[in-house]
Amino acid sequence: MSADPTLTYLREVTALLERIHDEESEAILRAAERVAEQVRADRLVHIFGPGGHSNLAAQEVFFRAGGLMHVSAILDEGTLLSNGALRSMAIERTPGYGRVVIADAGLTPDDLLILVNAYGINAALIDAALEAKERGVTLIGVSSREHAERTDPGHPARHPTKANLHDLVDIAIDTKVPIGDAVITMAGVAEPLAAVSTFANAYALNALVLRTVQRLAESGVEPPVWRSGNAPGGDEANARFLDAFRSRVRKL
């Protein structure tokens, strides 16, 4: 009988998450302190994942059970897969698009923006970073350094500057996603199978939230955290804070 590919995949994902934990703890702690500063000042923490599946990363920590209420996701319609997968890919490769999205969000020097993209190279992502930098926004990047540095400068997804996200942000969290994202090979199948970037992004971001809340608790601040609306008392617990965020968080 052939080896169980699901067990191989489990081990690949587990090893990747352990690498992120072991090698990125310092970066996550530094990022958590910046996020904690925003929450202490009662300012929003913006997150944008320009790119088809990278949008999932922004959704992972927005309006999510156990997540910070101060997180505001920028969910731009252009790169959402729900509007067409090929359309999404074309938009994320369009120079200038990311600038429009950040300008529309109205970010200022008081803001913090987390940019998440598995590969760290696409045009919309880099333009979002450049626009945010010009506006004086604090930037945290979550992406794979290896994937960015090993992707050909002439790749059609790249921004005209050929820049990588990790070189533009104030704090970079490396998700270690390998070239191509998919990690399982199978006899008789030409292409690798089973991507890992969604796991990597979700772990890195939830680790950032955990460290942020830990820092806040250590300083005597208990931030508002979402409870699942499907859990007993969830609606009531969340209702205590809704008025404070409904007018500030665009997608709430």
Please name every residue paired with 172 in a beta bridge, in sequence order, or none if there are none. 141
* pLDDT tens per residue, range 184-227: 999 999 999 999 999 999 999 999 999 999 999 999 999 999 99
User: What b-and-e string marks burial along 12-46, b requiring 16 or more CB atoms within 10 Å of the CB?
Assistant: bbeebbeebeeebeebbbebbebbbbbbeeeebbb
Single-letter amino acid code for the residue at 41: A
Give the torsion sign (CA, 121, 125, 130, 132): negative
pLDDT, residue 96, reads: 95
Task: Name every residue whose Cβ is closer than 8 Å to that of residue 36 and which is 6 or more positions away in sequence.
Answer: 212, 215, 216, 219, 221
Q: Which two tokens stand for residue 135?
A: 């506006």
Consecutive sets of 10 residues in the chain, 252 residues long: mean pLDDT of each? 88 98 98 98 96 91 95 93 92 95 96 96 97 98 96 92 97 96 94 96 98 97 93 92 92 91
The 3-class SS string of 108-129 reads: CCCCEEEEECCCCCEHHHHHHH
Query: What does pTM read for this prediction?
Result: 0.95
Q: Say how far apart CA 110 and CA 239 lie, in whole Å.
A: 27
pLDDT, residue 52, reads: 86
Closest CA to 116 of 68, 195, 179, 173: 173
User: What b-and-e string marks burial along 86-95, b requiring 16 or more CB atoms within 10 Å of the CB?
Assistant: eebbebbbbe
pLDDT, residue 1, reads: 52
Q: Which two tokens stand for residue 204?
A: 């890195």
